[in-house]
Amino acid sequence: MALNCGIVGLPNVGKSTIFQALTSAPAEAANYPFCTIEPNVGIVNVADQRLDKITEFVKPQKTIPTIVEFVDIAGLVKGASKGEGLGNQFLGHIRQVNAIIQVVRCFDDPDVIHVNGRVDPIEDIETINLELALADLESVKKKQESLPRALKSQDKAVSGRAKELVPVLEKLAAALEEGHAARSVDLTAEDIAVVKELNLITLKKTLYLCNVDEDAVPDGNEYVEKVKEYAAAEGAEVMMICGKLESEIAGLETEEEKSEFLEAAGIEQSGLDQLTHKAYNMLGLRTYFTAGEKEVRAWTFHAGDKAPQAAGVIHSDFEKGFIKAEVYHYDDLIQFGSESKVKEAGKFRIEGKEYEVKDGDIVHFRFNV
């Protein structure tokens, strides 16, 4: 279940710097536009205090966190949707990801080249969003062109689907032509399902990540305020990070050095954990735990998954041969202090196939194959 978040934005705004700090994976970051061409993929452990707490209770031989994947994509420029700056290739990479983190330059630094020669976060966002909308418009138009034929098809399934597509594509094209995101269009869940195969970029959830200088931490700056205003109007999320600082912290070896560094910089926590959490949530991911003496482990499932599907994350046999789930919640463990006390309190439950697994459940699956 490799769901991922793509890191996008204009060239030279700090995407690879942030990616590197996040993943500790090597990615070239340098002060020139189009430093990145091929996407860099990195896996990040999702820090979870609950997992640490369960580990304290159970004292297993090992503990395994969940992960989330990030993809560092090349910078887009104006005209990307028309192929400018290898735009088609880069847009293709963005189409593959499940959610988007748009890095916005919110720092002044005359030494770092800005492709437009000046720092203007809103103009930058609008440049990127317009290219994304135009790329989607092209996908929509292509689909529309194929419709007349599909509508005449003898195959009822084909013509029926085409009929469903007509009004949805019309609505989307109208918005995209104005440069508005597909997610700004009032679509029903059915409409969204109908256009799923188009993989529209502007339908993906987006977080604006303001890359600021050290002195803007933690209060922000006027650029960040502008981005917040812009995002609020769109209903999108915003977060602030100092890419430069984070990459310095990530380069330190011990936790002690890291906390000393944070203290000296006057911040409580590295922004990376927060970013990872936001990405995880944006992807609709949730966590349940298994807690045995051999191993305490966090597992990723999709919000709304029922017990057999969630069990399938461990192994497909668990889903196929699912019998039942023994469940209690992390909060109960904290409240009552041990699994046996949770049982005494009647909080330990046996759940069946229809049970919707909750974030923070501690589960033992019974299965038979």
Ligand X SMILES: Nc1nc2c(ncn2[C@@H]2O[C@H](COP(=O)(O)OP(=O)(O)OP(=O)(O)O)[C@@H](O)[C@H]2O)c(=O)[nH]1
Binding site for ligand X (CB under 6 A): 9, 11-17, 29-31, 33-36, 74-75, 107, 109, 112, 211, 213, 242-244
For residues 307 and 364, the answer to whether their CB atoms sit within 8 Å is no
> How much of the chain is in helix, strand and coil states, percent to nearest 5?
45, 20, 35
Beta carbon nearer to Mg ion, 16 or 211: 16
Shortest distance in whole angstroms from residue 241 CB to Mg ion? 15
For residue 31, the partner it binds in ligand X, Mg ion, none, with Cβ less than 5 to 8 A by kind, is: ligand X
C-alpha pair distances (Å), 6 with each of 18, 67, 367: 12, 15, 36
Q: Write out the E strands in 268-348.
A: 285-291, 295-302, 322-329
Beta carbon nearer to ligand X, 2 or 30: 30
Shortest distance in whole angstroms from residue 99 CB to ligand X? 18
For residue 240, the partner it binds in Mg ion, ligand X, none, with Cβ less than 5 to 8 A by kind, is: none
Single residue of 23, 36, 127, 206 touching Mg ion by CB under 5 A: 36
Footprint of Mg ion on 9-28 (CB under 5 A) = 15-16
* Interatomic CA distance for residues 140 and 178, integer angstroms: 14
For residues 341 and 272, the answer to whether their CB atoms sit within 8 Å is no
Judging by DSSP bridges, how do beta strands 322-329 and 349-351 pair with one another? antiparallel
Q: How far is CA 179 from the centre of its chain?
A: 23
For residue 208, the partner it binds in Mg ion, ligand X, none, with Cβ less than 5 to 8 A by kind, is: none
Closest CA to 298 of 220, 345, 359, 349: 359
For residue 17, the partner it binds in ligand X, Mg ion, none, with Cβ less than 5 to 8 A by kind, is: ligand X
Shortest distance in whole angstroms from residue 16 CB to ligand X? 3
Shortest distance in whole angstroms from residue 234 CB to Mg ion? 25
Shortest distance in whole angstroms from residue 93 CB to ligand X? 12
Beta carbon nearer to Mg ion, 251 or 304: 251
Shortest distance in whole angstroms from residue 274 CB to ligand X? 16
Shortest distance in whole angstroms from residue 104 CB to Mg ion? 15
* Interatomic CA distance for residues 295 and 60, integer angstroms: 5
For residue 308, the partner it binds in Mg ion, ligand X, none, with Cβ less than 5 to 8 A by kind, is: none
C-alpha pair distances (Å), 170 with each of 144, 185, 205: 8, 11, 22
Using CA atoms of 28, 29, 33, 35 in order, give the dihedral in degrees to the nearest 10. 0
Closest CA to 129 of 200, 79, 181, 205: 181
Shortest distance in whole angstroms from residue 140 CB to ligand X? 27
* Segment (H or E) for 69: strand 67-72
Beta carbon nearer to Mg ion, 1 or 37: 37
For residue 179, the partner it binds in Mg ion, ligand X, none, with Cβ less than 5 to 8 A by kind, is: none
Q: What does the DSSP assignment read for 93-129?
A: HHHHSSEEEEEEE----TTS--TTSS--HHHHHHHHH
Scanning 31-39, 143-151, 171-179, 350-358 for contacts with Mg ion by CB under 5 A, the matching segment is 31-39
Token pair recorded at residue 209: 């990540």
Beta carbon nearer to ligand X, 151 or 267: 267
**What residue number has its CB nearest to ligand X?**
75
Beta carbon nearer to ligand X, 68 or 209: 209
Beta carbon nearer to ligand X, 33 or 284: 33
For residue 139, the partner it binds in Mg ion, ligand X, none, with Cβ less than 5 to 8 A by kind, is: none
Shortest distance in whole angstroms from residue 166 CB to ligand X? 38
For residue 296, the partner it binds in Mg ion, ligand X, none, with Cβ less than 5 to 8 A by kind, is: none
Beta carbon nearer to ligand X, 102 or 202: 102
CA atoms within 13 A on the CB side of 255: 1
**Residue 97 backbone class (left: φ over 0; alpha: ψ -120 to 50; beta: rest):** beta
Which residues here bind Mg ion, judged by CB under 5 A?
Answer: 15-16, 35-36
